[in-house]
Structure formats: structure tokens, C-alpha cells
């Protein structure tokens, strides 16, 4: 069994995603326990290899670069086939981000290698023989401890759980040819479009400002966006009531059937705190709630609650945050 | 179009769970069970396709002990034509083991489309659909929020973080369903009566040996009780102070 660990370095639109650095960081921890090396595998259109040094800086001993024009878009079939074939060189584990793209790749590779996958790990320990992960299930209400007894172990790690750590290694670039013809994949991505206006993604942002039906109408989401802008490191989320009404795209929905997030700070604006919404955000470190109804269930889990009209409070809060940021 | 939908029986999440004395299962007493959220969307999507084409068959498949027959009947009362139980003593924690059994059942079934949920709401790996597809040698598109057909090609929308992509794939294919596609209908009384007479086959599940082992289950640490700091915009300065000095997030 090899002690080396392969990390899937996710990219989109020619850029490395933060999740790539998290996967490398998580892989590094396992390789260090086992005395092995970390290899990061990076797919993209020609030119993507330019990002290799950042992967090296976060702990990749080598960076395997697979460039092809057909990797300008996600190409899960060709990516999974190439990773699975490359794993044949001998790896003890594959670490992917538990992002939409990573969760699309990990089970494909695992099935090709006839091994299980553990998804969405929030913590991970390894010894020479196996990897054990903590995996939230039951809408975050139960933490499962799971051991992967097969080799290689395939794990996807939840964004935000393994913060990128600088740990400079060689990052020596190795060029690899894709398996088969990526242009001939049966699953074809014809277009990738930006869905929401926020620059930061929900999975990556340390602060999330979320809005619910209490905002009264779609246009009032500008108040939420302005608060997010004041923080500078915030993304905008929403409840299902709001995405159902088309005020926000479905991709912004947080909850049981939406995104699961755990930012440092979650500000719930005009959100009642239905159980299905809490399922997606209850693990946030600090929760603030603004709601005009002091009996709203969101206040049961809010570290800091303000009772009042969100339309009146948001502009005041935005100004105060701007001022706090300006005064350092 | 011949459509299969793989559905899992899961507990309702709207409760405070207790861990069973074994430490590796939830205490099931008093729990209600139903079709896993996304699998319900998948059943609805299948029914709408059949209704639109006014032809075809929807087969629902569930792996587990005899109680999953209830889940299968529910899907048939929504409108699925027939059902298969892959009988196993328990539902394993290992999605790969489940995928091997589902693939063995689906193999040679002549399905044009095989639907899964994006992930099960209890074990929550989001892996079984893609793994089953790989075992069957079929293409798979994961976590889609829109699905249309253009002849024999499925045209789909997939949500990414802060973006979405449009995806095409020729049938036969495996597709895993996210929310957004269709709200599951409630069974009608007529549907419930009809479901009692629909065929439900029972076969042993051909499970691979599970190699993702559940060592323990635990409840996450309780959040400290909520605290209201005041009313109206006058408390904003106090909130900002707390965020800065106590929570240290500003
Ligand atoms: C199977 C299933 C899955 C679901 N999945 C999800 C999910 O993933 N995510 C999700 O969010 N929901 C989900 N839901 C829906 C969920 O049950 C709730 O309906 C939804 O979260 C409510 O959204 P809301 O808080 O915006 O709206 P409401 O519940 O209508 O709450 C609005 C709140 O705003 C407050 N308010 C009104 N006016 C003001 C004002 N001027 N100032 C301040 N406060 C004000 C009100 O007091 C109220 O508390 C799901 C439901 C089901 C059945
Ligand atoms: N025991 C089961 N029986 C039938 N289908 C299942 C079973 N377990 C999982 N599935 C299907 O696989 C999907 C993903 O499950 P999971 O990999 O557990 O997240 C579910 O939404 C179901 O469609």
C-alpha cells in the first residue's frame, strides 16, 4: 500500500478554487502521518498549469497537470477516468472537495476502483491502515464516525472544514495526458453561467447574510447585499420561501434541501427559523437573527437576537459595520 | 420511456434524535418514516415525464428490510406502476455496497432513464447514483434542478456554487435529482387504493461487503440557548460591539 495521497485540485473558468487548497491541506495531514507525499491533480484548459505553484505552497510535493481544451468546462467523465487510471500508480487515498464538482468526481472514481467513498468529512484522522472521518448526517443532527477499510480511501472534505495552510513543498510539475478523448465524453457541459450576483460563494465565505420572506419583496435584497458588501467577506443566502418565489436563485438556498453551510458568522434577516432552514446553518459559529416576532424559532439558536423591523435595522447595521471596518 | 427510480426509506428529520444503545443506530421508537426528500422529487419527476409522453412505465426500487414496502407503496400511490424490494436485513452505511445491489437489479432491465435523489437525507453521501451508473457503464449527471428532453437527449441544469451549468447527455442515462425540479404530489385516495393492487416484487439484495464502517453516532454539541439583546435599531451599536469583542467576527 502506498503512503502517497492524491488531492483533486478543483478549478473553474481557468482559476483555482479555494476548495483545491483545502483538499491539498487535508491530504497533507494524512500524508504526514503516513510518511508519504502529496500529489495534487489539476485539470483545465491549456494554461491551467500556471497555478501549480500555489498548490506547492500549500503542501503539494508534486502537481500533476492535465490540460485539454475540453477541460474549459467541467468534464466529469474524462476527469474521473483520468484520476482512476492515475490512481493505478499507487495511492493510499484520494481527497476531493465536497463541492458540487468534487462530489461529482469522487463517487465516480471510487466506483471505478471498486471502493467506497466517505462524503462531506468535517474531520479526519489516519493511521497506517485506514482513515476515519466525521461525517454529519440526518440534516446535521447526527455526527457519524466512519472508517474506510478499503484502499485507496476516497474522501470528500466539506468546504470550510480544512482551512488552507501554507506549507511550502516542491510542487514539481508533471504533465499527464488525459485518458481517452475528453472531447468525446457522453456527458457534455454546454454552458457555465454565473448564477448570483455575489462575488463570494456560500461555501467559501466566512460571513453569510441570509434573507427570508420577512424582507417583503425581492428588491429589498439590496439591503442584504449592501450589508454583505460592508463586511467585504460575505456571501448572500436565502430561505426556500424566497427561492420558491424566484426572489433569489435556487443555488442560494440554505437548508435541508439546499446548501449546508457553517460560516464564522451567519446573519438571518427576516427568517422564521423553520427546522429545514436550521438544518443547513445550525453549525455556524456565531448566529445573529433579526426578526420582528420575538417568538420566532430562529431566536432559540441565535447568539444575538434583535427584535424589530429588518427593513429599518439593516441600513443602520450596514452603516455601523462600515464604520467598524473603517476604524479597524 | 421506461424509468426506474431508486428510493430510500428514511426517518422524518423534524425530531430530536436519540442514539440507540448500540451506539451505531438511531433509536427508532416514535419515529415516522417516509421517502427521502430528494427521492420524492425524483418520483415526481418520473411521473411528470410519463404523463407528458402519455406512455412508458415508472418502476420504483428500494433496498432494505420489509418495512420499505410501505415506502414503495407510497410511491405507487403517487402513481408509480410497480415496485421492487431488494431485501436486506438493514440498510448499510456504505453507498458502494448499496450501489452494487441496485446495479445488479437494474442491469438488463432495459431502462431509458434511472433516477436517484441527489443524496439521501440520513446517511447523506450523495454517492449511490453515480456509483450505480459507473457499475452499469452508463453516463450520469448529478444534482440537476431542470430536466427536458430533445428526442433521445436529456438537457439539464446543474447548480454549482454561485453558478450553474447546462448539461446534455444521450439516453440511456442515470440522473440524480436536486430540489427545484418538481414538488412531490400527495397521493390521492384513488391512488392509495390503486397502489394496493400494484405489483411489488421481492428479491434478495446482492450486496457487496460494506467497507465503509459505521463506528459510532453522536449528537453534535448543543448550541447554547439563544439570547435576545434588545429591540429595534437602537441596539445595533451593542450588536456591533458584541460581534467585535465577544464573538470576534468583525
Ligand atoms: C421537505 C422540505 C424541505 C425544505 N427545505 C428547506 C430548505 O432547504 N431551506 C429553507 O430555508 N426552507 C426549507 N423548507 C421550507 C421551510 O419549512 C420554511 O417554509 C422556510 O424556511 C420559511 O422561510 P422564511 O423564514 O423566509 O419565511 P417565513 O417562515 O414566512 O418567515 C418569515 C419571517 O419573517 C419575519 N418578518 C416578517 N416581516 C418582518 C420584518 N419587517 N422585519 C423582521 N422580520 C419580519 C416573520 O416574523 C417570520 O418569522 C423546506 C420545507 C420542506 C417541507
Ligand atoms: N437503500 C436504498 N434503496 C434504494 N435507493 C437508495 C438506497 N440508498 C440510497 N439510494 C438512492 O441513492 C441516492 C443517494 O444516496 P446516498 O449515496 O446515500 O446519499 C438516494 O437519494 C436514493 O435515490
Domains of chain A, by residue range, sit at 5-184, 207-326
- Taking contacts as CB-CB distances below 8 angstroms, the residues of chain B near A258 are 179
Which of B167, B179, B249 is opposite residue A189, by nearest beta carbon? Answer: B167
> Is B118 within 8 Å of B156 (Cβ atoms)?
no
- What share of chain A in percent tops pLDDT 70? 98
Q: For strands B2-6 and A304-307, give the pairing.
A: unpaired
> Which residues touch B12 (CB under 8 Å, ≥6 apart)?
B31, B32, B33, B34
HSE, CB side, 13 Å, CA atoms: give it for residue B5: 36
Residues 13-52 of A with CB under 8 A from B: none
Q: Domains along chain B?
A: 2-204 (3.40.50.620)
What topology is assigned to A207-326 in CATH? Rossmann fold (3.40.50)
Write out pLDDT tens, residues A89-132. 999 999 999 999 999 999 999 999 999 999 999 999 999 999 99
DSSP codes, A117-133:
EEEEESEEEE-SS-EEE
**Which pLDDT value is given to residue B160?**
87
The grid coordinates listed for B81 are: 406502476
Q: Do domains A5-184 and A207-326 have the same CATH topology?
A: yes
Asked if the model's pLDDT at residue A194 lies above 80, the reply is no
**Which pLDDT value is given to residue B221?**
86
ipTM of the complex: 0.93
Residues in chain B predicted with pLDDT less than 70, given as ranges, are none
**Which pLDDT value is given to residue A159?**
87
Element containing residue B83 per DSSP (H, E): strand B82-87
Judge whether A67 is closer than 8 Å to chain B, CB to CB.
no
What topology is assigned to A5-184 in CATH? Rossmann fold (3.40.50)
> Which residues touch A261 (CB under 8 Å, ≥6 apart)?
A160, A202, A203, A208, A237, A254, A280, A281, A284
**Which pLDDT value is given to residue A203?**
81
**Which pLDDT value is given to residue A199?**
65
The grid coordinates listed for B237 are: 451599536
The grid coordinates listed for A158 are: 466539506
**Which pLDDT value is given to residue A198?**
52
Which of B19, B26, B211 is opposite residue A148, by nearest beta carbon? Answer: B211
Q: Which residue of B has its CA nearest to A192?
A: B165
Distance CA A197, CA B163 (A): 10
> Which residue from A219, A185, A178, A222 is spatially nearest to A68, judged by alpha carbons?
A178
- What share of chain B in percent tops pLDDT 70? 100
- What share of chain A in percent tops pLDDT 90? 89
**Which pLDDT value is given to residue A196?**
53
- Name the least confident of A33-42, A196-205, A294-303: A196-205
Judge whether B34 is closer than 8 Å to chain A, CB to CB.
no
**Which pLDDT value is given to residue B179?**
85
**Which pLDDT value is given to residue A195?**
60
> Is A72 within 8 Å of A44 (Cβ atoms)?
yes
The grid coordinates listed for A9 are: 485540485
> Which residue from A95, A238, A84, A108 is spatially nearest to A161, judged by alpha carbons?
A95
Task: Write down the pTM of the prediction.
Answer: 0.93
Burial class of residue B141 (count of CB atoms within 10 Å of its CB; 0-12, 13-18, 19+) = buried
Which of A118, A198, A301 is opposite residue B223, by nearest beta carbon? Answer: A301
**Which pLDDT value is given to residue B222?**
84
**Which pLDDT value is given to residue B162?**
79
Asked if the model's pLDDT at residue A61 lies above 70, the reply is yes
Q: How far A165 CA sits from the closest chain B CA (Å)?
A: 20
| Ligand 2 and B63: CB distance under 6 A | yes
* Cβ–Cβ below 8 Å for B211 and A150: yes
Ligand 1 centroid to residue A240 C-alpha, Å: 7
Distance CA A11, CA A152 (A): 23
pLDDT band at A200 (very low <50, low <70, confident <90, very high): confident
The CA-based angle A96-A100-A102, given to 5 degrees, is 15
Amino acid at each position: 500500500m502506498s503512503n502517497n495521497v492524491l488531492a483533486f485540485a478543483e478549478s473553474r473558468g481557468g482559476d483555482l478554487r479555494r476548495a483545491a487548497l483545502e483538499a491539498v491541506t487535508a491530504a497533507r495531514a494524512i500524508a504526514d502521518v503516513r510518511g508519504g507525499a502529496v500529489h495534487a491533480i489539476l485539470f483545465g484548459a491549456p494554461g491551467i498549469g500556471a497555478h501549480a505553484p500555489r498548490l506547492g505552497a500549500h503542501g503539494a510535493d508534486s502537481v500533476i497537470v492535465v490540460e485539454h481544451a475540453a477541460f474549459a468546462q467541467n468534464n466529469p467523465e474524462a476527469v474521473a477516468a483520468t484520476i482512476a487510471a492515475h490512481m493505478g500508480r499507487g495511492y493510499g487515498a484520494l481527497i476531493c472537495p465536497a463541492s458540487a464538482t468534487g462530489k461529482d468526481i469522487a463517487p465516480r472514481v471510487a466506483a471505478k476502483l471498486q471502493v467506497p467513498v466517505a462524503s462531506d468529512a468535517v474531520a479526519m484522522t489516519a493511521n497506517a491502515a485506514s482513515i476515519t472521518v466525521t461525517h454529519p448526517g440526518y440534516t446535521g443532527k447526527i455526527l457519524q464516525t466512519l472508517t474506510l477499510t478499503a484502499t485507496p480511501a476516497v474522501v470528500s472534505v466539506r468546504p470550510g472544514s480544512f482551512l488552507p495552510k501554507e506549507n511550502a513543498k516542491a510542487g514539481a510539475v508533471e504533465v499527464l495526458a488525459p485518458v481517452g478523448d475528453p472531447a468525446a465524453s457522453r456527458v457534455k457541459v454546454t454552458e457555465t453561467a454565473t448564477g448570483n450576483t455575489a462575488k463570494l460563494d456560500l461555501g467559501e465565505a466566512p460571513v453569510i447574510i441570509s434573507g427570508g420572506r420577512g424582507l417583503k419583496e425581492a428588491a429589498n435584497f439590496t439591503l442584504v447585499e449592501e450589508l454583505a458588501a460592508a463586511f467585504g467577506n460575505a456571501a448572500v443566502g436565502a430561505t426556500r420561501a424566497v427561492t420558491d418565489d424566484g426572489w433569489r436563485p435556487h443555488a442560494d438556498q440554505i437548508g435541508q434541501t439546499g446548501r449546508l453551510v457553517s460560516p464564522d458568522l451567519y446573519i438571518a434577516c427576516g427568517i422564521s427559523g423553520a427546522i429545514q432552514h436550521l438544518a443547513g446553518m445550525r453549525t455556524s459559529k456565531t448566529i445573529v437573527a433579526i426578526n420582528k416576532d420575538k417568538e420566532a424559532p430562529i431566536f432559540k439558536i441565535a447568539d444575538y437576537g434583535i427584535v424589530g423591523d429588518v427593513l429599518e435595522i439593516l441600513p443602520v447595521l450596514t452603516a455601523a459595520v462600515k464604520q467598524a471596518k473603517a476604524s479597524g | 420511456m421506461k424509468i426506474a427510480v431508486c428510493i430510500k426509506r428514511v426517518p422524518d428529520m423534524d425530531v430530536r434524535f436519540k442514539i440507540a444503545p448500540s451506539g451505531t443506530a438511531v433509536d427508532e421508537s416514535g419515529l415516522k418514516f417516509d421517502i427521502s426528500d430528494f427521492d420524492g422529487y425524483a418520483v415526481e419527476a418520473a411521473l411528470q415525464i410519463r404523463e407528458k409522453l402519455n406512455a412508458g412505465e415508472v418502476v420504483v426500487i428500494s433496498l432494505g428490510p420489509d418495512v420499505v414496502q410501505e415506502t414503495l407503496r407510497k410511491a405507487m400511490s403517487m402513481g408509480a406502476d410497480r415496485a421492487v424490494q431488494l431485501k436486506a436485513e438493514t440498510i448499510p452505511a456504505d453507498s458502494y455496497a448499496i450501489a452494487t445491489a441496485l446495479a445488479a437489479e437494474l442491469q438488463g432491465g432495459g431502462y431509458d432513464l434511472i433516477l436517484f435523489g441527489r443524496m439521501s437525507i440520513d446517511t447523506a453521501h450523495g454517492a449511490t447514483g453515480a456509483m450505480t451508473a459507473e457499475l452499469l457503464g452508463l453516463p450520469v449527471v448529478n444534482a440537476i434542478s431542470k430536466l427536458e428532453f430533445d428526442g433521445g437527449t436529456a438537457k439539464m441544469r446543474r447548480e454549482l456554487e454561485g453558478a450553474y451549468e447546462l448539461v446534455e447527455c444521450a439516453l440511456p442515462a442515470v440522473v440524480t435529482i436536486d430540489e427545484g425540479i418538481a414538488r412531490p404530489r400527495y397521493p390521492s385516495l384513488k391512488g392509495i387504493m390503486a397502489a394496493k393492487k400494484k405489483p411489488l416484487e421481492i428479491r434478495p439484495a446482492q450486496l457487496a461487503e460494506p467497507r465503509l464502517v459505521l463506528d459510532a453516532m453522536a449528537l453534535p454539541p448543543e448550541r447554547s440557548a439563544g439570547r435576545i439583546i434588545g429591540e429595534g435599531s437602537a441596539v445595533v451599536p451593542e450588536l456591533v460591539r458584541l460581534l467585535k469583542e465577544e464573538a470576534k467576527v468583525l
